[in-house]
Amino acid sequence: MIEVQKLLKTFHDRKRGEVAAVQDVSFVCQPGKVFGLLGRNGAGKTTTLRMLATILGPTSGTAKVAGHDIIQEPAAVRRAIGYLSGETKLYDRLTGRELLEYFGALASMGSSAIAARIEELRGPFGLGDFLDKRVGKMSTGMKQRLSISRVVFHDPQVLIFDEPTAGLDVIGARAVLSLIQDLKKKGRTVIYSTHIMTEAERICDEIAIIERGRILAQGTVESLLQRANQDSLEDVFVEVVGSVDGDR
Amino acid sequence: MTVKTLAVFRKEAIDTLRDGRSIFAIFVFPFLLYPAMLLFISWMHMKEAEEAKALEVRVGVVGGATLPFLADSLAAISGVTPVPLDAPPASMETAGVNAVLVVPAGILESIARGDSARVQLLYKEADNKSSAAAGRVEPILDQVREALTVSWAQSHGAHTDAPPRLVVEMKDISLKSETGRYVAALLIPFLLMIMVAAGAMQTAIDATAGEKERSTLETLLATSASRTEILLGKCAAVLAAAITGAVTGVTGLWFTFAVVAKAFPTMSSPFELTIGPDKLIWLFLTLLPTAVFLTAVLVAIGCFARSMREGQTYATYVYMVATFLGLGSLGQQTPPLSRFFIPLLNTALLQREILTNSVQMLHAAAAVGVTAAAAAVMLTIAVRLFSNESVLFRT
């Protein structure tokens, strides 16, 4: 479960002074559900998710991830999460196996547990053909499968996906969405950021539309459609975000 | 060292061993560059000597009539053509000569009176041909000195045609091993310093700024390993690269002089580069705090840098400072205690003392203590930088 309470994150900018990247963000994401953060580039999605993953610390407010406070117990939070960002890459000079062993060791798994887990994931994730190939020589599809294996390798309770389909082709994107649906069925808590409406509509149980660091609308897809009296999520998004643009 | 730190160390070590640039800098460079340099320098010397021998030079002689043997003696030297002149020329180029031997008029009368006299060989050191001409004519100067001495003796009633053979000279009686120890004391501390810096540089920047540039840092920070565990693992890998760089550097030097030089008799070394195992252990132990210090400095720089290019630029400055301070070992005097409080320089000076069997305990304590303290401070700074999100994610 993820419980976010009034998260605020400000950065210092030489020209603009203190700039709020995320402000007053609160939401709850239940186990077995997918919570979507929908927003344009620079809206505050990545900063929010980085705070939940304890990569960044909040300026104020807090959150609990799998029952652990992100400020008080960051190490426990990181033990409970799997984090995948569309922008992040893998280590080109390691083989797939070495990469999984590395992240397994960083998740405090013993060598026998790591070996067993690799065997367990080898079939379902189709790693068999390229497990001992260096990452730098893998195709984009292979890298994507390896990335997904890395995220679920230590079987985390909470999964944080930051635009995980960015740069992927249709097949790759579909594999990611399929994984998320599987994780949801297994009762994992999933938070997912995207700016692609069809993806959000397809997999999210609840959605928050974020713009300029603030959540402007939040609810299930159906409730958002009803409230805005629109037929598609894209129309809802344009209406909500457009209202803020009009304030500029 | 925790299991997670060990995991980071292992991964960075694999990464380094698979990076062609690091392998070249640490392993190939010392075993390729040093022998190549020795062979090239020896070849250059041989070629220069051959060319100098084959050079045709013209030597002007002023006052040759005073010492009649001069013309014959000069003509007897291969490649030398004597050119009689009335007076020293305003320009050797205009006079068409490469050097000029000047015997002042009335010199025999002057020395007979007991006055001082001066015979000069004029040449230009900056001109290769002129310098070669002077080198060719130099042995004649001894004959001139002898002839003038005989003339002076005869003017004072001595019945002699040749002066007694007197040899007053300096002679280096060092054994080859002693010369080797002296050369080792000059070179090895300096080389160790630059090898440690070179070995650490590539891995430090790759493991920090490279992690940012390749967009792998975020994933790493989201694991359950703490920032301190991650950073210490990276530092351990950088330290291993630095020490390996230093060890291969010295081994490469030994290989060059002990194996390559012996394989080419014309390049036989005037010294034997032998260092006992006890000294090697002390060199290693004194190098360790310095290697940790340089590692921490370079890792801190890598944490601060936004990109590998920026990191490498800063690291190059550190390398230059390390090289400059490492040059401290090239001096010969006993340095004052204050110099043992300057990191890097103190290690070079202490290692020089180790290699020349002249270690002073106060010097050793100051050098090791100060460097260890500086290393601890720099490690703390590196950990803080790696834990500071505004530094790590600065744009």
Q: Which residue of B has its CA nearest to A101?
A: B7
Among candidates A92, A93, A102 on the partner chain, residue whose Cβ is nearest the Cβ of B7: A102
Q: Which residues of B touch A92 (CB under 8 A)?
A: 214
* pLDDT reading at B49 higher than 80: no
Between the alpha carbon of residue A117 and those of residues A124, A152, B302, the distances in Å are 12, 10, 34
Mean per-residue pLDDT over chain B, rounded:
88
Taking Cα atoms as reference points, which of A59, A46, A60, A54 lies closest to residue A73?
A: A54
State the Cα torsion B238-B241-B243-B244 to the nearest 10°.
170
Provide the shortest C-alpha distance from residue A108 to chain B (in Å): 7
Q: Pick from B6, B7, B389: which is nearest to A56 by CB? A: B389
Q: Which of A128-132, A185-189, B263-267, B315-319 is the least confident region?
A: B263-267
Distance from C-alpha of B339 to C-alpha of B367, rounded to nearest angstrom: 9
Chain A CB contacts of B223 below 8 Å: 78, 103, 106-107
Beta-strand ranges (E) seen in chain B are: 57-62, 80-85, 99-102, 120-122
Alpha helices by DSSP H, listed for chain A, are 45-52, 74-80, 96-106, 111-122, 140-152, 170-185, 197-203, 221-228, 233-247
Q: What are B359's two structure tokens?
A: 């270690």
Among B375, B321, B314, CA closest to B348: B321
Residue B319 per-residue DSSP state: H
- Of the candidates B322, B295, B320, the residue with the CA atom closest to the CA atom of residue B205: B295
What's the gap in Å between the CA of A117 and the closest CA on chain B? 17
Q: Give A98→chain B minimum CA distance, Å.
A: 8
Q: Which of A17-21, B214-218, B277-281, B371-375 has the lowest mean pLDDT?
A: B277-281
pLDDT for res B301: 96
| pLDDT on residue A193 | 93
Residue B271: predicted pLDDT: 66
Q: What is the pLDDT of residue A132?
A: 93
Q: How near does any CA of chain A get to the CA of B237, in Å?
A: 15
Transcribe B23-76 into DSSP letters.
HIIIIIHHHHHHHHHHHHHHHHHHHHHHHHHH--EEEEEESGGGSTHHHHHHHH
CB-defined contacts A:B, below 8 A: 74
**pLDDT exceeds cutoff 70 at B121:** yes
Chain A, window 11-40: residues with a beta carbon less than 8 angstroms from a chain B beta carbon: 11-12
B189-198, B245-254, B259-268, B287-296: least confidently modelled range: B259-268
Mean pLDDT of B1-30: 85
Instruction: Specify whether the CB–CB gap between B10 and A99 falls below 8 A.
Output: no
pLDDT of A34 reads 95
- pLDDT at residue B332 is higher than 70: no
- Check: pTM over 0.90? Answer yes or no: no
Whether residues A102 and B10 touch (CB distance < 8 A) is answered with yes
Report the percentage of chain B scoring pLDDT > 70.
97
What is the DSSP-derived secondary structure letter of residue B286?
H
- The percent of residues above 90 in pLDDT, for chain B, comes to 47
For B219, the closest of A57, A83, A92 (CB atoms) is A83
Q: Residue B18 gets which letter from DSSP?
A: T
- In this predicted structure, the answer to whether residue B268 has a pLDDT above a threshold of 70 is no
Instruction: Convert the pLDDT of each residue in B132-151 to its tens digit.
Output: 899 889 989 988 998 899 99
Q: Which residues of A touch B15 (CB under 8 A)?
A: 91, 93-94
Confidence of residue B270 (pLDDT cuts 50, 70, 90): low
- pLDDT at residue B345, rounded to an integer: 93
Name the band, by pLDDT with cuts 50, 70 and 90, for residue B273: low
Interface of chain B against chain A, CB under 8 Å? Answer: 3-4, 6-8, 10-11, 14-15, 18-19, 214-216, 218-226, 389-390, 393
Please list the alpha-helical segments (H only) found in B264-307: 277-304
CB-CB neighbors (< 8 A) of A88 in chain B: 215-216, 218-219
| pLDDT in 10s for each residue of chain A, 248 residues | 999 999 999 998 888 888 899 999 999 999 999 999 999 888 999 999 999 999 999 999 999 999 999 999 999 999 999 999 887 789 999 999 999 999 999 999 999 999 999 999 988 888 888 899 999 999 888 888 899 899 999 999 999 999 888 877 888 788 888 889 999 999 999 999 998 888 888 899 999 999 999 999 999 999 998 888 888 888 889 888 887 665 54
Mention every residue, 6+ apart, whose C-beta is less than 8 A from residue B83. Answer: B58, B59, B60, B61, B95, B96, B97
Residue B33, amino acid: L
Residue from the list A83, A88, A134 with its beta carbon closest to the beta carbon of B215: A88
Rg of chain A in Å (alpha carbons)? 19
pLDDT at B42: 78
Cβ contacts of A106 on chain B, cutoff 8 Å: 4, 7-8, 220, 223-225
What would the mean pLDDT of B94-102 be, rounded to a whole number?
Answer: 94
Phi-psi region of A43 (alpha: psi -120 to 50; beta: other; left: phi over 0): alpha
Least confident of B4-13, B298-307, B320-329: B320-329
Residue A17 is predicted with a pLDDT of 85
Looking at residues B38-52, what average pLDDT do you find?
80
Put simply, the answer to whether A75 touches B224 (Cβ < 8 Å) is: yes
With H, G, I as helix, E, B as strand and everything else as coil, classify residue A139: coil
Instruction: Give the closest of B7, B216, B224 to A88, CB-based.
Output: B216
